[in-house]
Amino acid sequence: MASSPPSLVPVDELTLRPELATAFPPTRAAALERVRSVDERAYARTRNHLRGAVSRLSPYLTHGLVSVPEVLAIIAPDANGKFAQELAWREFFQLVHERDGRSIFADRFGPQPRRSTAAHPRRLPRAIVEGRTGIDALDDAVRALVDDGYVHNHARMWLASVTCHVAGADWRAGAAWFLFHLLDGDLASNTLSWQWVAGTGSHKPYLADQANLDRFSDRVQRGTFLDRPTAELLQGPVPAALAESVELDLPVTLPDLPPPRLDPDRPLLAYHPWALDPTWRADDDAERWLLLEPAFFELHPWSRDRLAWVLAAALEVPGLRIAVADARTLLSERVAAAARGDAAAVRHRLHPAVAHWPGPGDPTPRAFAQRWTNGSAPRSFSAFWQRVGPGGR
């Protein structure tokens, strides 16, 4: 469901907030430093806990500042390791998106088990959006989402579980809300994780209760609407605290820039926000343009913080210029001219989010997914892992 068209502001109004620049420095050096500090044993032991030794690498992986094969090469893990397996989850989701295209944005395997009649793909419970559910672990997670653009995996699962199962809201609204704020907002990981929790993309919906939140957040809260037996959580009435819903307000702002003027005599490397890799064709003598497509942002709005982070990360690619432009309009003729030999070559990095881009693409570096040779998407992570993981056939 589309939101309003993006509004345009001078590019210098899209600067990164200092707190975000400190929490997630938008550089490849910061990404590599994070990779080197991964402690796999501590990760495997503690990753489910809010204070666990997670890497906070996701904004860098999502935007291609570092790739999964590079991470694995640096940490040289035992391929059975939990960290490697989580990276494989990322590639699993990417592969499903690549094979199934935009169908991932609709219920995958069946309707959401508990979707209330009032549910709407752009409405969420007010108390969740405003972080006023009265459940501390949830309210802190909402603050982290909005202020920091990063939420621990377990807290993402809790928010999604309460949204879909306890409030009966539509998972698509939750996914759009997350994608707007998360610095790592990734079409595949986000959409398919919401479907996994909601029970539309897996056969066992994920349900969290108060005891689970308490255990992994070092809290004790009693008498909340989550402090009830599972059956009641799933089948009881929607708690009063979650009954009122609001329409999501997800305004997009893009930089106001002059239209790009491409030089037909110079090779063109077309970048998108999911491949800000400074090492890609680093030695090519080429024009480099990052394309921000208004139609994409209308469908999948981003917050100013998210956009500011990406614009700052784009500075990592020397000579990269920025254009707000529709890729098909900008590139189609040029690709045809290049094919006739009338203009220099055009390339981009293949990614399921830009499957509509014309012209040839270089593959995205992957560690596991290239071993999946079946033409259709894997049905489940376990089917994928059995094939591509250690001991896979």
Ligand X SMILES: Cc1cc2nc3c(=O)[nH]c(=O)nc-3n(C[C@H](O)[C@H](O)[C@H](O)COP(=O)(O)OP(=O)(O)OC[C@H]3O[C@@H](n4cnc5c(N)ncnc54)[C@H](O)[C@@H]3O)c2cc1C
| Site residues for ligand X per CB under 6 A | 47, 54-58, 61-62, 86-87, 89-90, 93, 153, 156-157, 160, 178, 182, 184-186, 189-190, 193-194, 197
**Which residues, at least 6 apart from 185, have a Cβ–Cβ distance to it below 8 Å?**
62, 178, 179, 302, 306
What one-letter code names the amino acid at 21? Answer: A
What's the rounded Cα separation, in Å, for the pair 131 and 275?
33
Cβ atoms of residues 272 and 353 within 8 Å: yes
Q: How far is the CB of 370 from ligand X (least distance, A)?
A: 17
The smaller minimum CB distance to ligand X, of residues 57 and 248, is found at 57
The smaller minimum CB distance to ligand X, of residues 90 and 334, is found at 90
The smaller minimum CB distance to ligand X, of residues 48 and 332, is found at 48
The smaller minimum CB distance to ligand X, of residues 30 and 331, is found at 30
The smaller minimum CB distance to ligand X, of residues 189 and 224, is found at 189
Q: How far is the CB of 351 from ligand X (least distance, A)?
A: 14
Q: How far is the CB of 157 from ligand X (least distance, A)?
A: 4
The smaller minimum CB distance to ligand X, of residues 141 and 262, is found at 141
Distances, alpha carbon 327 to alpha carbons 7, 81, 321, 346, 359, in Å? 19, 40, 14, 12, 10
Q: How far is the CB of 8 from ligand X (least distance, A)?
A: 26
Q: How far is the CB of 200 from ligand X (least distance, A)?
A: 12
**Which residues, at least 6 apart from 190, have a Cβ–Cβ distance to it below 8 Å?**
175, 178, 179, 182
Q: How far is the CB of 162 from ligand X (least distance, A)?
A: 11
* Phi, psi values for residue 32, rounded to 5°: -65, -35
Q: Kindly write down the DSSP assignment for every residue of 355-381, as one continuous string.
A: TT--S-EEPPP-SSGGG---SSPPSSH
